[in-house]
Chains A and B, each alone.
Chain A
């Protein structure tokens, strides 16, 4: 394990700048050479309520936040009431001296309380109340003896659109820092010295998916806002002119997916992102993409359901939905990245696969992956290359008339885009012949179904031959295996570190491709596994049912969580210790 594990939590009402402060601190540590995983927890409302940002910092790569906290920044009293139980012994609390609370109760818990005149300093500066958070951030830098300048550079950059606002926040941070230094000295909590800035990025799953799309040559992006997928739209809307990408917010998700399909039919790589409700509206068109054999990339950022559910909380309840969405039988890829770094590379891959096989590709994320921050090294663009499918651009050179659904050995027909000279491109969501004309002829129907089925066989091979379709971590020879998919990866990898330190060696099997299901690879990987522990953020253990379906094997133990909250490493550790006993 890394030698430094520092966990902070910033809490307050919506509107107090909790998310921005958390993010700025994550960027500060990243610029200071550390790794961060940070999560924002917020109910679906604009003012009031309780928001908190909870993050762990380490000197080695980190995949999840840890539950227990070294430092709480309480922008209101509610934060103390809600999170005190998470505070480690001798942990610190920064609290506004204007807040009325029971100090002795905190101290009885072993907390070190630092009362700082957040409101007072802001008043002195004549700044808005929201600037309190910058005072607190400055103060926190002194408590851990971190270089204040790094924080100031982040504030200047993040708030730099309006110089006077950036400067007042910089001043506020400086005052908070000096207050602590004068009253208590530097590094009272601990010492975290900045290391060299290696150019790492702080990125969310949503941003990674957006960046992946850009790298993959996506030229059109369509979306109707829906948490937790909306930040993809915001990110792309911001950079649309830098990348010459058209970003449109149409009237609903039905329009969204159909525009994307229309655009890729005409040659523009396209993506859409939504959550369960919007995905439900898209399902008919996903079948259309399959039938017309037009590629499309659909990001399904899951949240708690059914129905509107808990819009801002995480879940993995839509796996079966993604696998089966739309009428009829057809091949599709369903890919579940486990962290933001994977999300980038797999999104590029998704575009390539969609075009290679002319099928819909669904990328499954969830709120915990989509909106949490992760420190990652700058991307290796050699590993993220555009691979075009069998496409025909400019002019069709064939001697016979162009057939969009030409029968081929592999089931994949060369795809011309409309506008190509000498090619008339007819696509049809009704069953069709090779030319694209509708027909209900029995023999033709069978030929066409088999053509689409041949693609499925090829896709299965693609998955079985791909190292990334299933990943194994930890002690590969251990007879005890944790199995999971998607964002639970983070808590599980952190748990593995803790278990290893305790001398407990297990492995973690991450299923990345869920359709086609990597049956043969999993058979090999799970061959000598005695105890199989399934970890999922849902009620019914959906991956478990897939294992039964494809491997005829049920998990031996289940760790399921379905309260909208992600797993914490210690929960996985406890369960594993129970299993090995």
Chain B
């Protein structure tokens, strides 16, 4: 049975603002699933709280709309319970880099086979336009009416130094490129991190800004196996902003290092009559 784009649509009415970068991310993700022909039952999408959080309602696969900032731990639990699922998390930049930041380095160094997409609009969308950790310095938002006094965080550098085995940046203004990134991330075995430049049409419209600056790493012969080069590229943020795969390496995933996970997924094991008597030796 083939998987079609139509099957991935849901009955839910989309409530994003017209022109929102989230539409491109949704389209790219659905296209990636169709192009890879992944059965819907095998995919789980986890979303945080924010405009991006509605994502799960708009794609007809398993989904978990969690609380603010907890996409990665939920995704980790799901993958451990059933390693055969394709587990993809979607967070806003507030969800990922503010309230949820404590989880990123650990998911990365654990190398759990989870894909993590950050809708980085550099603003709190759903709460109507406050500053986030990636808002550039000096930008006026509702909570920084005199300009943001803080330096922004560098998400790609963070992912790289934390040990992520797949690090990429996408741009919501280029759906074809984003589709390709999603496919590569899903095919990668291990933690895949994609920061997506996602203009917020209503509170922080950056389409023109990014359109003028982004270029593709594939076009300049970037070596995705070179960690130091990747880190250099992660710091490139001026009149040229790179998108594409910065770094990719194959390392054992968290699941692969756990002998308990060999064989059937945990969720399908027989638990009807566990023999605990073999633990009595510790209690005598």
Contact = CB atoms under 8 A, between A and B. Distances in A.
Verify that A and B bind, or say they do not: yes
Interface of A: 27, 30-31, 157, 199, 201-203, 207, 211, 214-217, 219-220, 222, 235, 238-246, 248, 250-252, 254-256, 258-270, 284-285, 288, 292, 378-379, 381, 386, 393, 417-430, 432, 435-438
Interface string B143-166: 000000000000000000000000
B77 A267 contact: no
Given A211-B279, A261-B74, 12 more contacts: A241-B260, A243-B274, A251-B106, A262-B75, A266-B267, A267-B267, A268-B80, A418-B78, A419-B84, A424-B41, A427-B65, A432-B65
Nearest to A262: B77
Nearest to B106: A251
Given A266-B78, A418-B85, A424-B61, A31 B284 contact: yes
Interface in B111-155: none
Interface residues of B, number: 59
Q: Which 10 A-B pairs have the closest CB atoms?
A: A217-B271, A262-B77, A267-B267, A268-B81, A258-B73, A266-B81, A263-B77, A418-B62, A262-B74, A259-B77
Interface string B95-119: 0000000110010000000000000
14 contacts: A219-B267, A241-B259, A254-B73, A263-B77, A266-B267, A284-B67, A285-B70, A386-B273, A418-B62, A418-B78, A419-B42, A419-B62, A419-B85, A426-B57
Given A238-B282, A254-B73, A261-B74, A266 B85 contact: yes
A219 B41 contact: no
A424 B61 CA distance: 6
Nearest to A438: B57
B103 A255 contact: yes
B15 to A, nearest CB: 9
Contacts of B64: 262, 265, 292, 426-428
A30 B284 contact: yes
B220 interface: no
A261 B280 CA distance: 29
A419 B65 contact: no
Given A252-B102, A419-B82, A288 B66 contact: yes
A264 B64 CA distance: 12
Contacts of A417: 81-82, 267
Nearest to A208: B283
B5 interface: no
A260 B279 contact: no
A243 to B, nearest CB: 7
Given A30-B284, A430-B65, A254 B266 contact: no
A222 B76 CA distance: 11
A418 B70 contact: no
Interface string B41-69: 11010100100011011001111111100
Contacts of A250: 73, 76, 106
B272 interface: yes
